[in-house]
A and B are shown apart, each in its own frame.
Chain A
Amino acid sequence: MDATRPGLTPSGEPSSWTLRLRRLVDRELPMDHLLPERQPYFVGSWVYVFGVITIAALVWIVISGVVLAFMGPQWWHDAGVGRFVNGLHFWSVQLFFIFMVLHLWGQYFMAGWRHGRAATWMIGVVIFGTSILTAFTGYLSQQNFDAQFIAINAKDAMNGGGIGAFFNVLNFGQMYGLHIMLLPVLVTFLVVWHIVMVRMRGVVKPIDPEGVSKP
Chain B
Amino acid sequence: MKQTTQDEYYRGVRMIRYDLIKELAIALAAVGVVALGATVFLSSPDVPPVTIATWSHDDPVDFVATATGELAGTTTSAGYGQPYNSTADAAQSWGPISPQAWFGVRIPIDSAKTFVIEPLQREAVESQDLTAALSTWQSAGADQQTAWTDAYSKALENAQPSDGTVTVPNGDYGPLPVMMANLLAMGQSGALDGLFQINGSFYQTDYTPALLFIGDGAYLDGLANTWNLHGDQWGMMNETGQYPGQTWLWLYTMWYQVFPFTSDSGFLGLNGGNADLGVIIVMTVLTIALALVPLIPILRDIPRWVPIHRVIWREYYASRKAKV
Over the window 119-157 of chain A, the binary record of Cβ atoms lying under 8 Å from chain B Cβ atoms (1 yes, 0 no) is 001100110110010011001001111111101110011
Contact, CB under 8 Å: A165 / B103: yes
CB distance from A22 to the nearest CB of B (A): 18
Assembly CA distance A55 to B300 (angstroms): 26
Q: List 25 A-B contacts (CB under 8 A).
A: A35-B20, A40-B16, A45-B315, A55-B24, A55-B27, A60-B32, A83-B44, A94-B247, A95-B34, A97-B247, A109-B309, A110-B312, A132-B246, A146-B240, A148-B49, A152-B211, A153-B235, A160-B274, A160-B275, A161-B276, A164-B100, A202-B10, A206-B317, A213-B303, A213-B304
Considering the complex, which residues of chain A in the window 89-129 have a beta carbon less than 8 Å from any beta carbon of chain B? 90-92, 94-95, 97, 99, 101, 106, 108-111, 113, 115-118, 121-122, 125-126, 128-129
Interface positions of B (Cβ within 8 A of A): 1, 3, 6, 9-10, 13-21, 23-24, 27-28, 30-32, 34-36, 38-39, 42-50, 80, 82-83, 92, 98-100, 102-104, 106-107, 205-208, 211-212, 214-215, 220, 223-224, 227, 229, 231, 235, 239-240, 243-249, 274-277, 279-281, 287, 290-295, 300-301, 303-304, 306, 308-309, 312-317
Which residues of chain B are near A88, meaning CB under 8 Å? 35-36, 39
CB distance from B323 to the nearest CB of A (A): 13
Which residues of chain B are near A110, meaning CB under 8 Å? 303, 309, 312-313
Q: Which secondary structure dominates chain B's binding surface? A: helix
CB distance from B161 to the nearest CB of A (A): 23
Contact, CB under 8 Å: A142 / B46: yes
Which residues of chain B are near A142, meaning CB under 8 Å? 46
CB distance from B52 to the nearest CB of A (A): 12
Which residues of chain A are near B17, meaning CB under 8 Å? 37-38
Given A97-B247, A109-B306, A47 and B312 contact (CB-CB distance below 8 Å): yes
Contact, CB under 8 Å: A171 / B280: no
Interface positions of A (Cβ within 8 A of B): 33, 35-45, 47, 49, 52-53, 55-57, 59-60, 76-77, 83-84, 86-88, 90-92, 94-95, 97, 99, 101, 106, 108-111, 113, 115-118, 121-122, 125-126, 128-129, 132, 135-136, 139, 142-149, 151-153, 156-157, 159-166, 168, 170-174, 176, 201-202, 205-207, 211-215
Contact, CB under 8 Å: B312 / A148: no
Which residues of chain B are near A136, meaning CB under 8 Å? 246
Contact, CB under 8 Å: B248 / A125: no
Going nearest first, the 10 A-B pairs with the smallest beta carbon separation are: A162-B99, A160-B276, A173-B205, A161-B280, A113-B294, A165-B103, A87-B44, A87-B39, A39-B18, A56-B27
Given A41-B13, A49-B27, A56-B27, A149 and B107 contact (CB-CB distance below 8 Å): no
Most B Cβ at <10 Å: residue of A36, A76, A91, A171: A91
Which residues of chain B are near A118, meaning CB under 8 Å? 294-295
Contact, CB under 8 Å: B6 / A33: yes
Assembly CA distance A44 to B318 (angstroms): 13
Contact, CB under 8 Å: B104 / A161: no
Which residues of chain B are near A95, meaning CB under 8 Å? 31, 34-35
Q: Whose C-beta in chain B lies nearest to the C-beta of A123?
A: B291
Contact, CB under 8 Å: A97 / B229: no
Contact, CB under 8 Å: B303 / A109: yes
Contact, CB under 8 Å: B82 / A159: yes
Assembly CA distance A166 to B24 (angstroms): 39
CB distance from A124 to the nearest CB of B (A): 9
Contact, CB under 8 Å: B46 / A144: yes
CB distance from B294 to the nearest CB of A (A): 4
CB distance from B248 to the nearest CB of A (A): 5
CB distance from A150 to the nearest CB of B (A): 8
Contact, CB under 8 Å: B316 / A206: yes
Assembly CA distance A42 to B227 (angstroms): 47
Q: Whose C-beta in chain A lies nearest to the C-beta of B279?
A: A157
CB distance from B302 to the nearest CB of A (A): 8
Name the one of B6, B14, B21, B248 contacting A101, with C-beta atoms under 8 angstroms. B248
Given A144-B48, A152-B211, A160-B276, A94 and B15 contact (CB-CB distance below 8 Å): no
